[in-house]
């Protein structure tokens, strides 16, 4: 069975796969020989856009990467209200979903609920199923780190005011229906798009919702 992960550097995915060949455009490197930090720098400079790091054993893929980069674990949520609208935040000029770092002595589920509430002001959150886990590389204090984010579906009957958390750089918090969610995702991150069913994703910019 093929196993594959996408680890985003900005919006470019580094593929971790059990397959050596995943497409003619891809540069494939055995993960044991991969110089991770050099690859990340090349992706950041636009010198690499299609990279596949492979190992026959799927359990080795993330394990190897986590040995090379410090891991920051986070939890977040895709929150639905009674109108089937989704809760978005706007930060750094892009629409995102609320998430944050796991604290000591808390479970990842507790983290996800707490962070959603803190970043948005939304209350009465009911935790649902795990949607997916996303991975992206960021730089902090001159060092590359790997963020591993656990995303949960959540529901709420809350209809009160929403309050963006300014200390986290959040400028807006908005409920968005299907059409507005489609538009928001054209101004979002590739790893966030992984959470959404394909009907939310507009592939052609000409088809964007006005």
How confident is the model over 59-69, as pLDDT tens digits? 999 999 999 99
Q: Cα separations (Å) of 39 from 46, 104, 112, 140, 177?
A: 11, 32, 31, 17, 39
**Helix axis angle, 59-68 relative to 36-44, nearest 10°?**
80
Q: Which residues of the chain have pLDDT under 50?
A: 204-210
How confident is the model over 31-42, as pLDDT tens digits? 999 999 999 999
How far, in Å, CA of 30 to CA of 17, rounded?
A: 10
Write out the E strands in 43-124: 51-54, 71-80, 86-91, 94-96, 99-101
Number of H helices, E strands in the chain: 5, 11
Q: What pLDDT was estimated at residue 138?
A: 95
Hey, where are the domains in the chain? 4-68, 74-207
Q: What pLDDT was estimated at residue 187?
A: 96
Q: What pLDDT was estimated at residue 209?
A: 36
For the domain made up of 74-207, the CATH class stated in words is alpha beta
Q: What pLDDT was estimated at residue 184?
A: 98
Q: What pLDDT was estimated at residue 203?
A: 64
153 burial type by CB count under 10 A (0-12 exposed, 13-18 middle, 19+ buried): middle
């Amino acid at each position: 069975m093929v196993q594959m992960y996408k680890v985003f550097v900005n919006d470019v995915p580094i593929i971790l796969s059990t397959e050596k060949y995943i497409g003619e455009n891809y540069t494939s490197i055995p993960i044991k020989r991969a110089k991770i930090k050099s690859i990340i720098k090349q992706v950041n400079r636009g010198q690499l856009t299609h990279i596949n790091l492979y190992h026959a054993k799927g359990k080795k893929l993330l394990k190897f990467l986590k040995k090379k980069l410090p891991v920051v674990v986070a939890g977040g949520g895709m929150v639905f209200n009674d109108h089937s609208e989704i809760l978005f935040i706007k930060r750094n000029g892009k629409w995102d979903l609320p998430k944050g770092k796991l604290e000591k002595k808390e479970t990842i589920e507790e983290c996800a609920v707490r962070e959603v509430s803190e970043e948005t002001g939304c209350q009465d959150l009911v935790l649902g199923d795990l949607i997916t886990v996303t991975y992206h590389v960021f730089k902090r204090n001159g060092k590359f780190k790997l963020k591993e984010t656990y995303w949960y579906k959540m529901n709420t009957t809350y209809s009160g005011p929403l309050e963006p958390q300014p200390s986290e750089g959040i400028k807006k918090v908005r409920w968005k229906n299907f059409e507005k969610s489609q538009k928001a995702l054209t101004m979002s991150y590739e790893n966030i798009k992984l959470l959404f069913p394909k009907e939310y994703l507009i592939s052609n910019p000409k088809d964007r919702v006005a």
